[in-house]
Amino acid sequence: RSTTVPNIDGSLNTEEEDDEDDVVDLAANSLLNKLIRQSLVESSQRVEVLQKDPSSPLYSVKTFEELRLKEELLKGIYAMGFNRPSKIQEMALPMMLAHPPQNLIAQSQSGTGKTAAFVLAMLSRVNALELFPQCLCLAPTYELALQTGRVVERMGKFCVDVEVMYAIRGNRIPRGTEVTKQIIIGTPGTVLDWCFKRKLIDLTKIRVFVLDEADVMIDTQGFSDQSIRIQRALPSECQMLLFSATFEDSVWQFAERIIPDPNVIKLRKEELTLNNIRQYYVLCENRKDKYQALCNIYGGITIGQAIIFCQTRRNAKWLTVEMMQDGHQVSLLSGELTVEQRASIIQRFRDGKEKVLITTNVCARGIDVKQVTIVVNFDLPVNQSEEPDYETYLHRIGRTGRFGKKGLAFNMIEVDKLPLLMKIQDHFNSNIKQLDPEDMDEIE
C-alpha cells in the first residue's frame, strides 16, 4: 500500500512506508534536550545529600566566588552568562572541588547544570603545564561527547594551553602519536582501546574520571563493563564522578559498583500531576471519525499550541497530510528524522512558529515541551501487551506544580478501546469526561 508522505522540506512523495514504531533512543533524546536548551531548568525541588562522612560539615555555595576558583575559570563562567550556581551546583561543587578530592554520584533531571559542574571540576584540577591526559570523561555517544567538549572549550576559554581530545570512533590517531591533551572525552569502547590496546592514555595519571549520562550508558550493550574495566585501572587517588538524569535501581547498582566511597546528591524531580488538567474523551468509529472529531474540537475552541500523539509513524504521517490538506499549519516530529532536524522542529514549535506538533507515542518522550495548552491522544498510549501505558499518559498530559496553569487533554477513542481509557481513569483516580464533539460548549 502506498501512502502520501510529507518530506522534511514540505514536499510530498508516495513511497512504500514502513509501519515501524519509533523506538525510545535515550542517547538521542538526551542530545536533543541539550541542543534545544538555552538555559537552566529551574527546579524548586529539594536536594538530598548523603555524605560519605556524615560527621563532616556540609558546605554549600551561593556564589561562584566562594569556590575560590582560578581567576581564568571564573572569567570563563561569567563569559558564559552564569551568575550564580544552580541548585545542584550549590551542593555538588564544594564536594567536587574539596581537598582531598571526594567522589560523587549525582542525579538530577537534565538541564539542571550537571555538565557545567563536572566540567568546572575537570578544569580546576587540570595542570596546563603537564602535557598528558589528566581528566577522562566517558559519554554514551559521539555527539554527546562533542557537546561536553564544547562546554569545556567555552568554560575553559581563558585557560590557556588546556586542550580537549575526543576518543571516539573515527578519530584516527597515527601510530606512535603521543597524546598531549589534558582532557579526554570519549565513548567507552574507544577509550578502552586507547588505554589498553594502543596505550595512548596512561590511566595511572588520570586525576578526574567522569562518567556522564550513566542511565543512557547502562542502556547500551557493553558500555557498563567497558566503563568498569577502565575504572579498575585508575589510581586510587583519582577522583571519580558519576552523573545521571534518572535513578532507577539499575543505575544505582551500576553507580555503586563503579564509584567507591561516594557522596550522593539527588535532586528530586517535581511530581507530575493531573490535577489542573481537564481530560475528555470522544468516542469514535475509526480513524476518519477521529480526525473529524479533532477538526470539530479545533474549530470549536481557541487553541494555543497543541501536541497530537499517534501510536505509529504511519498514523502520524496520515494525520499530518490530512491536516495540511485542510490548510492547517502543522509539523511532524518523527523518529526517522536526524536529531538535528528534530531539534529544529521542536525549537520552531517552542518559538511559536508552529501551532500544532504531531508526533508518535515514543518520539517525544523525555523531551520537554510543556508550554502547550492542549494535548490530544489521537491514539491512547499502550505498551506491548496492549495494556495502558500509564507513565506515558502522565508524562504527556501531566504538569508540575510550577506549570500549574490549566491544561486540556483530549483522547480519541475507538469503542473497543474504551476499557483502556477506563483503566487509565481508575489508575489516576481522575475524571475523564465524555465529550460530544458536536457540542463544544461543554469545554469552556
Interacting residues with ligand ADP (CB under 6 A): 37-40, 80, 82, 85-86, 89, 110-116
Minimum CB–partner distance for residue 123 and ligand ADP (Å):
13
> For residues 40 and 295, which CB has a smaller minimum distance to ligand ADP in the complex?
40
Minimum CB–partner distance for residue 41 and ligand ADP (Å):
7
Minimum CB–partner distance for residue 50 and ligand ADP (Å):
19
CB half-sphere exposure, 272, CA atoms < 13 A: 16
Tell me the helices (H) and strands (E) count for the chain, helix number first.
14, 17
Minimum CB–partner distance for residue 269 and ligand ADP (Å):
12
Minimum CB–partner distance for residue 260 and ligand ADP (Å):
23
The amino acid at residue 63 is T
Looking at 194-286, list the stretches that DSSP marks H as alpha helix, in order from N- to C-terminal side.
Answer: 214-218, 223-232, 249-258
The amino acid at residue 385 is S
> For residues 8 and 146, which CB has a smaller minimum distance to ligand ADP in the complex?
146
Minimum CB–partner distance for residue 105 and ligand ADP (Å):
14
According to DSSP, residue 198 is labeled S
* DSSP assignment string, 387-402: -B-HHHHHHHH-B-GG
Local structure of 211: helix, strand or coil: strand
Whole-angstrom Cα distance, residue 210 to residue 366? 23
> For residues 77 and 323, which CB has a smaller minimum distance to ligand ADP in the complex?
77
> For residues 212 and 379, which CB has a smaller minimum distance to ligand ADP in the complex?
212
Local structure of 173: helix, strand or coil: coil
- Shortest CA distance to 331 belongs to which of 321, 311, 17, 340? 321
> For residues 114 and 313, which CB has a smaller minimum distance to ligand ADP in the complex?
114
Minimum CB–partner distance for residue 174 and ligand ADP (Å):
33
According to DSSP, residue 342 is labeled H
> For residues 112 and 279, which CB has a smaller minimum distance to ligand ADP in the complex?
112
Task: Quickly tell me which residue has 535515550 as its cell.
Answer: 26
> For residues 113 and 188, which CB has a smaller minimum distance to ligand ADP in the complex?
113
> For residues 64 and 254, which CB has a smaller minimum distance to ligand ADP in the complex?
64
List, edge to edge, every strand of the sheet that includes 330-333.
330-333, 356-360, 306-310, 374-377, 407-414, 277-284, 432-434
> For residues 45 and 89, which CB has a smaller minimum distance to ligand ADP in the complex?
89
> For residues 118 and 223, which CB has a smaller minimum distance to ligand ADP in the complex?
118
Minimum CB–partner distance for residue 213 and ligand ADP (Å):
9
Minimum CB–partner distance for residue 246 and ligand ADP (Å):
12
Whole-angstrom Cα distance, residue 336 to residue 342? 9
Minimum CB–partner distance for residue 150 and ligand ADP (Å):
10
> For residues 82 and 280, which CB has a smaller minimum distance to ligand ADP in the complex?
82
According to DSSP, residue 234 is labeled S
Whole-angstrom Cα distance, residue 187 to residue 201? 14
Residues in the chain: 444
Minimum CB–partner distance for residue 48 and ligand ADP (Å):
16
Element housing 185 (H / E): strand 183-186
Cα of first residue to Cα of last residue in the chain, in angstroms, is 41
* DSSP assignment string, 23-88: ---HHHHHHHHHHH--S-----SPEEEE-SSTTSPPP--SSSGGG---HHHHHHHHHTT--S--HH
For β-strands 239-244 and 208-211, DSSP reports them as parallel
